[in-house]
């Protein structure tokens, strides 16, 4: 089977995922305690006002009708209007999404930049002092919660040493690179620990493989053996793992954006949950689910490209 | 004439274990030397030690003189230039020795690139010729295939083509046919013999199969528990074995001409590398052993033209062969 066939199959998976996520969101939101109508209108609203609002929000129709409506709106990216901010949900998301995308992309790049060299050092000197230190540090950063790492970085590097701003975002892309560095580092640390452990194991296994010995026996330069033969075989599983963790990165972004006061979709999510702004939460969850599915798709395609045995 | 490669007193230690101990042998130009022994006898380690391919915690002693220089003591950059260019290796299992994520073409051209400076189209043209030479049909198309798209025999041919890309003078073949079907084995051995003639190359063939040695090699060294027990011209060693271990090995081979014969074999198991017996390492399993055998390791001594044995009872063993024959 070729890569196109794999892609087609995965696109079907994504469609199925989207419908399932939609169903899940829909059911969850309808079983949540608290009535959005009462939240909006307050305790003293008249029955007529309540009925009007319920009609406006479509709550007076059957559950199946409401779900069908929700699916249709989702497909056309019409998530309705935010009841707390009085603007279309989609425009809120379009406004806030780029900053979160930038934050998570920077986190992924940082995580790889931290993990890859350390994994190489640890694997090449397996059992040595450097290996032991690297393993302890990765263990520690794995066991610390994201918000705690964020606060420590804030207090030391931003508030203490004043190397970085304590929060917010800049006015253009380059300023954002600077503003988002600490938040991205916060997000990256635990991910890099996960990648580091996986890549170290993979490298150690590959270094002992016959084909690495054979490549060395051919008289190739050390860096060719490591870069071409060792790395290309070892990173396949690590890239898969990275893709799987992009989902949890979104969860981390919610926390990080709150700690660093970044106006991304993570903050939007938290604010909307507290305001019981159903439409925003639904819309955001859908968009994030689709994006994570697309990342999984990309990882699958990448894996097929990197490992010829996958598409066989 | 000076030998092409001269190994003297090669010892390998990995932690407290000494899997190879004072191994000495010569390889002459255009010669095929067989090294036979059971698994764990140290024959593969010996091969890998010659190109400094042992795991990093392994230590070697002794010398391996190649073109006036000691392979075992060469700096990393110098031994790298010897690997593939002057001395090449092929491994037992081509499925694991070829890189699974790179095309066969790339795995050949990278050798051509590093040793002969061939790049791009020139390298591909040469790669096709090399695959052709080892008998891979439709070589041009096969260049873009990955190892898993080849059959077992074709993979072994591809590995030979890769190893011989820079036309080395010595090929170290580590059980090159063990993983293959018998019919394919025969083809691969014939191919190796052919290439040895065409390229005026010497070969060290490591195997546990006496039949392969008898059919292909000029000389043979029999290894047991990290030491050479007996060495000499193939016809002399197999006609008049002068070591109890060689005799035991020969009697463990079933002879198709005498079906249902009783195989005598060798009782017991080889010693652990960390607990080698004193004296002759084969003595605990040997039917000819006397208390004297366990006193000191017997050195190799002449027992015929170019024929050496490490057995102090060589004469008794030869007599027993004559009696049973």
Domain boundaries, chain A: 3-75, 90-306
Chain B residues touching A207 at Cβ < 8 A: none
In a domain, B274, yes or no: yes
CB contact residues (below 8 A), chain A span 158-217, against chain B: 208-211, 213-217
pLDDT band at residue A312 using 50, 70 and 90 as cut-offs: very low
Return the closest-CA partner of residue A19 out of A294, A278, A286: A286
Q: In the CATH scheme, what architecture does the domain A90-306 have?
A: Orthogonal Bundle (1.10)
Residue-level pLDDT at A249: 86
Residue of A219, A236, A308 best to disrupt the B interface, most CBs of B under 10 A: A219
What residues of chain B lie within 8 A of the CB of A208, using their CB? 55
In a domain, B65, yes or no: no
- What is the C-alpha separation between B93 and B97, in angstroms, rounded? 6
Report ipTM (2 d.p.): 0.90
Q: Is residue B183 part of a domain?
A: no
pLDDT in tens, B304-325: 888 999 988 888 888 887 766 5
Query: In terms of C-beta density within 10 A (0-12 exposed, 13-18 middle, 19 or more buried), how is residue A124 classed?
Result: middle
Q: Does A218 touch chain B (CB under 8 A)?
A: yes
Q: A108-112, A169-173, A188-192 — which is least confidently predicted?
A: A169-173
B279-to-A236, B8, B106 alpha-carbon distances in Å: 51, 20, 50
Interface residue A309 vs chain B (CB under 8 A): yes
Does A222 contact chain B (CB < 8 Å)? Answer: yes
Instruction: Give A240→chain B minimum CA distance, Å.
Output: 16
Q: State pLDDT tens for residues A182-198.
A: 889 888 988 899 999 99
- Residue-wise pLDDT tens digits, A140-156: 888 888 778 888 888 88
DSSP string across chain A: --HHHHHHHHHHHHHHHHHHHHHHHHHHHHHSSS-HHHHHH-TT--HHHHHHHHHHHTTTS-HHHHHHHHHHHHHTT---B-TTT-SBHHHHHHHHHHHHHHHHHHHHHHHHHHHHHHHHHHHHTTTSHHHHHHHHHHHHHHHS-HHHHHHHHIIIIIIIS-SS-SS---SSHHHHHHHTHHHHHHHHHHHHHHHHHHHHHHHHHHHTSHHHHHHHHTT--HHHIIIIIIHHHHHHHHHHHHHHHHHHHHHHHHHHHHHTT--SHHHHHHHHHHTT-HHHHHHHHHHHHHHHHHHHHHHHHHHHHH-TTTT-
For residue B260, the model assigns a pLDDT of: 60
Q: What is the mean predicted confidence (pLDDT) over A261-281? A: 88
Residue B66 lies in a domain: no
- Distance to chain B for A113, nearest Cα, Å: 23
Q: Is residue B294 part of a domain?
A: yes
Q: Note whether residue B197 is domain-resident.
A: no
A218/B88 Cβ within 8 A: yes
Q: Provide the mean pLDDT of chain A.
A: 85
- Give the structural domain span for B262: 243-325
A236-260 tens-digit pLDDT: 989 889 988 887 888 888 888 988 8
Q: Is residue B302 part of a domain?
A: yes
| Predicted pLDDT at A34 | 67
- Evaluate whether residue B92 is within a structural domain: no
Q: How many structural domains comprise chain B? A: 1
Two tokens, residue A148: 């705690």
Q: What is the pLDDT along chain B (325 residues), one digit of tens a residue?
A: 689 999 999 999 998 888 998 899 999 999 999 999 888 889 999 999 999 999 888 999 999 999 999 999 999 999 999 999 999 999 988 889 999 999 999 999 999 999 999 988 999 999 999 999 999 999 999 999 999 999 988 999 999 999 999 999 999 999 988 878 888 888 999 999 999 999 999 999 999 888 899 989 999 999 999 999 999 999 999 988 999 999 888 888 776 666 565 566 677 788 888 888 888 999 888 888 888 888 888 988 998 888 999 988 888 888 887 766 5
Q: Taking CB atoms and an 8 Å limit, are A217 and B89 in contact across chains?
A: yes
Q: What is the 3-state secondary structure (H, E, C) of chain B?
A: CCCCEEEEEEEEEECCEEEEEEEEEEECCCCEEEEECCCCCCHHHHHHHHCCCCCCCEEEEEEEEECCEEHHHCCHHHHHHHECCCEEEECCCHHHHCCCCCCHHHHHHHHHHHHHCCCHHHHHHHHHHHHHHCCCCCHHHHCCCCHHHCCHHHHHHHHHHHHCCCCCCEEEEECCCCCCCHHHHHHHHHHHHHHHHHCCCEEEEEECCHHHHHHHCCEEEEEECCEEEEEEEHHHHHHCCCCHHHHHHHHCCCCCCCCCCCCCCCCCCCCCCCCCCCCCCCHHHCCCCCHHHHCCCCCCEEEECCEEECCCCHHHHHHHHHHHC
The answer to whether the CB atoms of A217 and B102 lie below 8 A apart is no
- Check pLDDT > 90 for residue A12: no
């Amino acid at each position: 089977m070729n890569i196109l066939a794999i892609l087609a199959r995965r696109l079907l998976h994504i469609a199925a995922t989207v419908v399932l996520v939609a169903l899940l969101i829909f059911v969850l939101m309808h079983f949540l305690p608290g009535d959005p109508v009462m939240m909006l209108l307050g305790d003293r609203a008249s029955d007529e006002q309540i009925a009007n609002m319920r009609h406006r929000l479509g709550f007076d129709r059957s559950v199946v009708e409401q779900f069908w409506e929700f699916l249709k709106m989702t497909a056309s990216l019409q998530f309705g209007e935010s009841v707390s901010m009085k603007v279309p949900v989609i425009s809120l998301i379009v406004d806030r999404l780029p900053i979160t995308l930038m934050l998570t992309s920077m986190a992924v790049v940082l995580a790889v930049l931290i993990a890859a060299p350390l994994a190489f050092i640890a694997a090449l000197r397996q059992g040595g002092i450097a290996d032991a230190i690297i393993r302890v540090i990765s263990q520690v950063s794995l066991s610390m919660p994201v918000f705690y790492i964020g606060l420590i970085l804030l207090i030391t590097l931003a508030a203490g040493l004043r190397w970085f701003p304590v929060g917010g975002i800049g006015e253009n892309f380059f300023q954002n690179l600077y503003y988002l560095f600490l938040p991205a580092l916060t997000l990256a640390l635990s991910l890099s620990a996960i990648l580091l452990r996986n890549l170290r194991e993979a490298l150690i296994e590959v270094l002992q493989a016959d084909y690495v010995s054979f490549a060395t026996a051919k008289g190739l330069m050390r860096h060719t053996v490591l870069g071409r033969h060792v790395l290309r075989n070892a990173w396949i599983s690590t890239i898969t793992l990275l893709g799987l963790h992009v989902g949890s990165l979104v969860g981390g972004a919610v926390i990080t954006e709150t700690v660093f006061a970044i106006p991304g979709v993570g903050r939007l999510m938290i604010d909307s949950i507290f305001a019981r702004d159903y439409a925003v939460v639904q819309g955001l969850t859908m968009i994030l689910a689709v994006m994570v599915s697309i990342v999984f798709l990309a990882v699958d395609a990448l894996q097929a490209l990197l490992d010829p045995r996958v598409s066989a | 004439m000076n030998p092409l490669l001269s190994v003297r007193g090669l010892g390998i230690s990995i932690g407290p274990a000494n899997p190879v101990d004072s191994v000495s042998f010569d390889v002459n130009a255009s010669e095929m030397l067989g090294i036979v022994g059971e698994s764990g006898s140290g024959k593969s380690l010996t091969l890998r030690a010659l190109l400094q391919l042992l795991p990093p915690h392994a230590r070697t002693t002794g010398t391996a003189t190649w073109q006036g220089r000691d392979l075992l003591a060469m700096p990393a950059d110098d031994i790298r230039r010897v690997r593939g260019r002057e001395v090449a290796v092929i491994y037992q299992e081509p499925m694991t020795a070829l890189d699974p994520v790179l095309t066969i073409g790339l795995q050949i051209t990278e050798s051509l690139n590093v040793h002969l400076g061939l790049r791009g189209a020139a390298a591909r043209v040469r790669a096709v010729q090399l695959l052709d030479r080892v008998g891979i049909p439709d070589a041009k198309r096969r260049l873009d295939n990955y190892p898993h798209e080849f059959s077992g025999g074709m993979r072994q041919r591809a590995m030979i083509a890769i190893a011989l890309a820079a036309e080395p003078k010595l090929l170290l073949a580590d059980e090159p046919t063990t993983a293959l079907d018998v019919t394919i084995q025969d083809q691969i051995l014939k191919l190796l013999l052919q290439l040895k003639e065409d390229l005026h190359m010497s070969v060290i063939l490591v195997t546990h199969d006496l039949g392969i040695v008898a059919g292909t090699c000029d000389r043979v060294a029999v290894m047991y528990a990290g030491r050479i027990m007996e060495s000499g011209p193939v016809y002399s060693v197999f006609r008049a074995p002068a070591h109890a271990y060689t005799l035991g090995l020969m009697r463990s081979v079933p002879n198709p001409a005498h079906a249902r014969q009783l195989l005598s074999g060798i009782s017991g198991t080889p010693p652990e590398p960390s607990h080698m017996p004193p004296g002759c390492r084969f003595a605990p399993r040997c039917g000819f052993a006397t208390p004297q055998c366990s006193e000191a390791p017997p050195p190799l001594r002449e027992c015929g033209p170019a024929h050496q044995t490490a057995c102090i009872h060589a004469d008794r063993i030869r007599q027993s062969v004559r009696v049973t024959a």
